Amino acid sequence: MNTPGTLNTLGTTVLGHPRIGPDRELKRALEAYWAGKVTETGLLETGRRLRERTWTALRDTGLGSIPSSTFSHYDQVLDVAALFGALPGRFTRLGLSPLDTYFAAARGVPDAPALEMTKWFDTNYHYLVPELGPDSRFTLTGTAPLDEVREAKALGITPRPVLVGPVTFLLLAKADTPGFEPIELLDELLPAYVELLRRLRAEGVEWVQLDEPAFAADRSTAELNALTRAYHVLAKETERPKLLVAGYFGKLGRALGVLARSPIEALAVDLVTDESFVDDVAAEGALRDKEILAGVVDGRNVWRTDPDRALACARRLAGTAARVSVSTSCSLLHVPYDVTAETRLEPRLQSWLAFARQKVDEVVLLGRALDGEDVDLAPARAAVADRAGATELTDPAVRGRLAGLTEADAVRPPYAQRAAAQSAALDLPDLPTTTIGSFPQTGDVRRARAAHRAGKLGAEEYRGAMRAEIERVVRLQEDLGLDVLVHGEPERNDMVQYFAEQLAGFAATEHGWVQSYGSRCVRPPILFGDVSRPEPMTVEWARYAQSLTSRPVKGMLTGPVTILAWSFVRDDQPLGDTARQVALAIRDEVADLEAAGIRVIQVDEPALRELLPLRTAAHDAYFAWAVHAFRLATSGVEDRTQIHTHMCYSEFGEVLPAIDALEADVTSIEAARSKMEVLADLTSAGFARGVGPGVYDIHSPRVPDSGEVTGLVRTALAAVPADRLWVNPDCGLKTRGYAEVEPALRHLVGAARQLRGEP
How many residues bind Zn ion (CB under 5 A)? The answer is 3
Q: According to the annotation, is 232 in a ligand binding site?
A: no
The answer to whether the beta carbons of residues 322 and 288 sit under 8 Å apart is yes
Residue 726 annotated in ligand binding: no
- Residue 731, annotated as binding a ligand: yes
Question: What 3-state class would DSSP assign to 119?
Answer: strand
Tell whether residue 330 is among the known ligand binding residues: no
Interaction mask 633-662, Zn ion, x per CB under 5 A = ---------------x--------------
CA pair distance 248, 259, nearest whole angstrom: 13
Which range binds ligand GLN by CB under 6 A, 52-60, 413-421, 436-444, 751-759? Answer: 436-444
Handedness of CA 225, 227, 228, 232 (dihedral sign): positive
Q: Which stretch binds ligand GLN (CB under 6 A): 122-130, 213-221, 328-336, 435-443?
A: 435-443
Query: Known binder of ligand: residue 153?
Result: no
> Between helices 221-236 and 186-202, what is the axis angle to 10°?
30
Residue 27 counted as an annotated binding residue: yes
Q: Measured between alpha carbons, how far is 210 from 218 in angstroms, rounded to an integer?
A: 19
- CB of 694: closest distance to Zn ion in angstroms? 8
User: In the set 80, 495, 561, 679, which binds ligand GLN (CB under 6 A)?
Assistant: 495
**Considering only residues 69-88, where is the footprint of ligand GLN by CB under 6 A?**
none
CA–CA distance, 136 with 182 (Å, rounded to integer): 9
As a whole number of angstroms, the distance between CA 717 and CA 706 comes to 16
Minimum CB separation of residue 47 from Zn ion in Å reads 33
The contact mask relative to ligand GLN for 580-619 (x = CB under 6 A, - = no) is: ------------------------x-x-------------
Instruction: Report helix, strand or coil for 632.
Output: helix
Return the residue of 410, 731, 733, 741 that touches Zn ion, per CB under 5 A: 731
Q: Is residue 712 close enough to count as binding Zn ion by CB under 5 A? A: no
Q: How far apart are CA 590 and CA 523, in angstroms?
A: 26
Neighbours of 348 (CB within 10 A): 12
Nearest to 582 by CA among 561, 600, 602, 560: 560
The alpha carbon torsion through 416, 420, 426, 429 (nearest 10 deg) reads 80
Q: Which does 734 bind (CB under 5 to 8 A by kind): ligand GLN, Zn ion, none?
A: ligand GLN
Annotated ligand binding at 313? The verdict is no
Asked if 253 and 218 count as a contact pair (C-beta separation under 8 A), the reply is: yes
Residue 482 contacts Zn ion per CB under 5 A = no
Q: Please say whether the dihedral angle defined by the alpha carbons of residues 617, 618, 621 and 624, taken in this order, is positive or negative.
A: negative
Q: Which 682-701 residues touch ligand GLN, going by CB under 6 A?
A: none
437 binds, among ligand GLN, Zn ion, none (CB under 5 to 8 A by kind): ligand GLN
Quick note: the x/- pattern for ligand GLN over 622-661, rule CB under 6 A, is ------------------------x-x-------------
226 binds, among ligand GLN, Zn ion, none (CB under 5 to 8 A by kind): none
Q: What are phi and psi of 666, to 5 degrees?
A: -140, 135
Q: Establish if 734 lies at the interface with ligand GLN (CB under 6 A).
A: yes
SS3 of 528, please?
strand
Beta strand 526-532 pairing with 568-569: parallel
Hey, which residues are catalytic here? 699
Closest C-alpha among 104, 692, 131 to residue 433: 692
Residues that bind Zn ion in the complex, under the rule CB under 5 A: 606, 648, 731
Residues that bind ligand GLN (CB under 6 A): 436-438, 489, 495, 556, 604, 606, 646, 648, 731-732, 734
Q: Which residues contribute to the annotated binding site for L-methionine? A: 436-438, 489, 604
